[in-house]
Amino acid sequence: MTVLYEDNHIIIVNKTTSEIVQGDKTGDKPLSETVKEWLKEKYNKPGNVFCGVTHRLDRPVSGIVVFAKTSKALPRLNKMFQEKDIKKTYWAISKNAPKEPIGTLADYLVRNEKQNKSYAYDTEKPNSKKAILHYKLIAKSDKYNLLEVDLETGRHHQIRCQLAKIGCVIKGDLKYGADRSNPDGGISLHARSISFMHPVSEKLIEVTAPVPEDNLWKAFEKQLSK
């Protein structure tokens, strides 16, 4: 587990594509438990350790996850995520490039619970929710494109679904039309950075997550650092 930031009230970690944030029907050990164990060992705590889940990332997605270390910070962070007071930026790798290098996608998403999948429509449908994101093409390789994505709304599989709708299926995302999976079983979507006002101290917190240990990710990162 890679800790990106920690203070008395919050801890921010870099999730891998194999981890789940919170316990689910798979019974696999969630990241929240790993964080609890890490805190318990680091501070030599004899009793239970508090670790509150403030938001989630899909299992095959990597990157930044914020946990609350105190009961004071948890409801404040939950409210901040709900009210979009926290700015999150994602990086996504797709085989196809969008028609326009910079753009905004606005769709109506309908979630299919049985399939654990969302479908995007141009017009409003029963049980649909409006989804808006902004993207920018920031790097290219011979075969792939790197998009930077900022969410205006937070819907189920929003980035995956909306990018697929414009023909920019995320690398490795079989559920949304990728032709092959990634070796690690994840998809090439990374919660790259986050910025927000601390829920208790009110100081600005800005954190960036290193990209996954993968040649393509590293090549894009190197290209952007020049």
Annotate 47-60 with DSSP letters as a single string.
S----EE-----TT
Measure CA 39 to chain center. 23
Rg (C-alpha) for the chain, rounded Å, is 18
Measure CA 202 to chain center. 23
Euclidean distance between CA atoms 64 and 21, whole angstroms: 11
Euclidean distance between CA atoms 110 and 119, whole angstroms: 5
Residue 172 near residue 104, CB atoms below 8 Å: no
- pLDDT-derived band of residue 46, with 50, 70 and 90 as boundaries? confident
SS3 145: strand
pLDDT in tens, 88-145: 999 999 999 999 999 999 999 999 999 999 999 999 999 999 999 999 999 999 999 9
Closest CA to 212 of 64, 106, 76, 75: 64
Task: Give the pTM.
Answer: 0.95
Pinpoint the alpha helices (H) of 7-66: 31-42
- pLDDT-derived band of residue 16, with 50, 70 and 90 as boundaries? very high
pLDDT in tens, 49-65: 999 999 999 999 999 99
Go through the domains of the chain in sequence order and give each one's CATH number.
2-225 (3.30.2350.10)
Residue for token digits 């449908």? Answer: 125
Residue 87 has pLDDT above 80, yes or no: yes
